[in-house]
Each structure stands twice: as structure tokens, then as C-alpha cells.
Amino acid sequence: METRTVEQVALDNPIILTQILKQTSAPLKTARLVSTFWNDLVLSLPNSKLSLKLGHDNLISNTEEDLILFFELCFALDARLAKHISATSIRGRTPLYSFATKLMHTCDKFSDTVQILDVSIAHEACLSPVYQVLKNCCPNLKQVRISCTFLPVSNSGSDDHAVSRDLVVGKKANLTGFAFTSTRVTPRVPKLIEAVVAAAPNLREAILPWGIYPDFANSKFLTSLKISLDGVQPNRPGLVDRNLAELTRMLTQVSDRLEKLSFRLKFFEFKYLRKMFRTGFRFPRRMPKLRKFRNELGDVLVSADFLRDLEAMPVLQTLVISDRLRRSKSLREILQNVCDAENNFFANVTKLVLMEVHDPRLVGGLKTAFPNLESLKVDTYDEMDSDGRMSKMGLGVVLSACVGWERLKCLNLALPMYPGRIGDVIEALMDSRELYTHLKTVLIRTYSESHVLHHVAEDDMDRFIELLIAMNGMEEIVISELYFSNKSAENLDAFMVSNNMLRSKFRMINTDFPYEADQDNCDEDFSSRNMRSNNPTNVNVIT
């Protein structure tokens, strides 16, 4: 009888591997190599997050000769590794024949096994093999994600492949998640999207490019819909900025069951949106289940009565509104109308995100409309408002505007700049210490690249200690881009240690200054100090 070592017995114990897998950083690829038993357990997980990569970074190169090695690999491959297939075609690095061959062969060979398909392509021609896979293979797909980064073209449309017939995809009864993003709309894109939607009656989540509004009449289970304007550049006029009645039609089809609705803006060419401003778009009259609404297209999707639109969402819990285009006064007008309203329109909303707000009075005026708010995020990047004036979003006034939200637990601020001196920062934080009696989390950061290294003088140190004591009841305090000299940081650390304060929750005393620092010359703007160092009149000659 074969004698087994202690190590072999341990490796066959599923409890050990189970404990390892509970660690979020556990590398599953490495665990598979430990033993045959561990490999079987990892591959038997319902969601191992392992994927079979077919792209340019695969060990097999993209030459014709090496495709033979790819076929040999497929003969020996454990089918369970093909549950999740990831295929990438990078412009100039992945030939079409290589991408198409690997994708179609793998999906055909492991057709019944594939559950997740991730495709990232840079050539429109690569949509053909993707379509063939969806048409002829993989009936058990649960998720499909297609990302297209097509180069912009002229309006002549010379590189487009005409699609004169409708596309048909094999039925995908298990498909619940479908995401299609594209930087350019071509005739082939909407046809493929429409075919997938028609083949997936149990679709629950969908992400679509702006301007493509498929027929969701048979999507009885759709609860999450995201429309993404991802740098879309149409190759023919009117494809993207066509009549938004089609969008209304699509939303009306799913308005009674949607729980999440998002309009996202990543990158755009302003010339394609110019005609879309102030469309007068109206949302469906009733969205009874909508819990989360995100609108980053403030100029495009704003009606004359935005309050009425929001009232059509009676169970709304999360609201994100933004004027990411920063070209008009839409967001300002929306917030002013909400502030002027006398009723608690949004008593159910517990999370509010405002992007590109430049008047803190509008933030403070929302307390009546949002009495039960628990989480507030204010994200202002630009130093100038839509009128070309300096933003009023200073640290002190924004914090003061939030005082009075007694149910607020999380405050997240991203501001154009901080006060220049540490004493002013401390005062801004101290003036609103009433907030810290009920807040659990404070997250503050700045978009300013004008870094300052602070030395806390004796007078300011006492105030800083008062601030630490006032904040000590919270669970997490993060203030980024606030840099201290080593001596100041040591003094503050010593105080926290001597008073048994949990140092890990005070992530606001940073010493890793991003530039070479003069520790004796703090509280100065780095760029200004750098300019003075190059000025001959400020050179100190030591004799």
C-alpha cells in the first residue's frame, strides 16, 4: 500500500483550499498548479473569474505557423477553462485571420461550455466572426460584452461594409447580461445589437451605445439599462443625433420594470452634439420600479419640467445628475427649480451625486427636497463655471452648505482646489465640525495639481488637534493631496498615539510629497517655489 506524506494529505483537504480561496487576493491560476485535486476544485467553481484569453498577449503568437500550435492546445485543453472566453484584436498587432480563427474555432469546439464572451476589437471587419459565433455557437451564453474602438472616418463612409439584410442570432435563452460599447456607429452595429436583443428574451441588464434603440418588446425581465455616449462619431449625418422619439419609444417599452437607468458620457466630439442641445426630451410618465437614475447628459436629456420627470420615479433611491458637457446652465436651472420647490419631492432618495456644480448655495438649498439623504457626493472638476467665472466651490463654503443634513452618513467631495495655507484648511474643516457628530465617512480630494507642502506652526497645531478630536467619532476620514512636513506629521502621529486614536482611519496626514521637498520652506505652492529657484535674484551665495 502506498504511503502518503503529510503534505499530500494536506493538499487533498478541501478545507485548506477553501480558506485560501476566501482571500480576495488568492491567485487561482497559481492554485491550479499545486495539485490535480486543487485544479479540479478551482475549475469546478461556479464563478472562478478565470478566462481563456485568445488575444495578442497569448503565449501563442499570431503567425500562420503558430496557429497549428493553437489547434494542438485546443485538443488538450480542459473544457472547463472555456467557460469564459476573452478575445482581443488590437489595431496593427492582431491580424483578422488570427483573431477570427481562434475565436470561431474555440467557440465552436466548446460551444456548449461557453458562458461568458468578452470581445474587444479595433476593426469593424472583426464584427463578422463575432456575429458568426453568436449565430451558430454558444447556446448557453449568460453574458456577452463587446467593446469596439473604431477609428473615426469622414462622412463619405468609404470604409463601411454595407449590410443589406437583417442579422439573425441563434436563441440565447440563458443570456441575462449584454453590453455593447462603440466609439463609432456603423450600419453593422445596430443590426448586430438588435439581433442579440431579439434572441435573448430573458435579458436583465443591457449597455448600449447612444443612438441605437432596439426593440425591447419581448424583454420582459429587463431591469437595468445604460446608454453610453462613448466618443461616438457617426460616419453619416443624423445617425446619432436622430429624433429622440426612438429613445422615448424604447424607454416606454421597459418603463414599468426598469430599476436602474443610466445615461453616461465618457468622451465626445462636441460638433456631433451641437444640434442635440435642449431637445425637450420627456421621460415616460411612469417608472414605478426605478431605484437608480443617472443622467450625465444634462444638456441633451432635460425637459422643460424636469421635476415632473423625477416625480414619475416614486421609489427613486439614488440620483446622479451632471452637466459633464459644461456648455450650458442646465444643471444650475435644474437644481434651482428643486431648491425653489416647497415639497419633499425626494423623500426616498438616500444617495445623491452632483457633478460640475459651481454654486454651493444650490447644494445647501437641497435639504428640503432631500430630507432623508444619507450619502452625498459633489464632484466639480473645472475651475470655471459655464459663464467663464471662477468656481465658488471652496472647501469651507461647500462644507458649510452640507451642515443641516442630519441623516447624512457619507460625504464625498471632489473640488477644484484647496486653500493655500494649512491654517485656512483647518479653519474650513473646523467651521463645519457640526457635521462630524453624525457623519461616518468623509472623503475629500482636489483636482488641483498645484501641490503644497505644509508645516503646521504651533498656533495651527492646537487647532489641528481640536479637529482630530472632533473627527474621532467617525469611521473613516480621507483627505487626499494634503502634504505635511516630516516634523508636523511626527507631532500629529505622536498626539494620536498618546490619545489612543486609531491612526489607520485618519488618512489625511500624507508625507509622500510628489516632488523634491524643501522641508524648511513649506506652505508654498510648488510651481511658484520652482519659478523662484530659477530666478537669479533669489540665489543664496554661501561664503
Give the 3-state secondary structure of residue 121.
strand
How many angstroms from the chain centroid is the CA of residue 232? 18
For residue 74, what pLDDT is reported?
86
How many C-beta atoms lie closer than 10 Å to residue 275's C-beta? 11
Q: What is the pLDDT of residues 118-128, one digit of tens each?
A: 999 988 899 99
For residue 400, what pLDDT is reported?
96
For residue 210, what pLDDT is reported?
84
For residue 500, what pLDDT is reported?
92
How many angstroms from the chain centroid is the CA of residue 350? 20
Specify the residue for cell string 449565430: 135
Full DSSP string of 230-285: ES---SSTTSSSS-THHHHHHHHHHTTT-SEEEEEEEE--GGGTGGGSS------S
Asked whether 347 and 367 are in contact (CB, 8 A), the reply is no
User: In what helix (H) or strand (E) does residue 108 lie, and over which residues does it extend?
Assistant: helix 96-109
Does residue 49 come out as left (phi exceeding 0), alpha (psi in the -120 to 50 range) or beta? Answer: left
For residue 337, what pLDDT is reported?
84
Q: What are phi and psi of 185, to 5 degrees?
A: -95, 125
**pTM, rounded to two decimals:** 0.82
Q: What is the pLDDT of residues 12-26, one digit of tens each?
A: 666 666 666 666 555
For residue 437, what pLDDT is reported?
95
For residue 297, what pLDDT is reported?
77
- In order along the chain (543 residues), what is the average pLDDT of each group of 10 residues? 61 64 60 62 64 62 70 82 89 79 94 95 92 96 94 50 73 97 86 96 95 92 92 48 76 95 73 51 86 83 71 92 68 84 83 93 92 95 84 95 95 94 94 96 92 88 94 95 91 92 90 67 46 34 24
For residue 156, what pLDDT is reported?
39
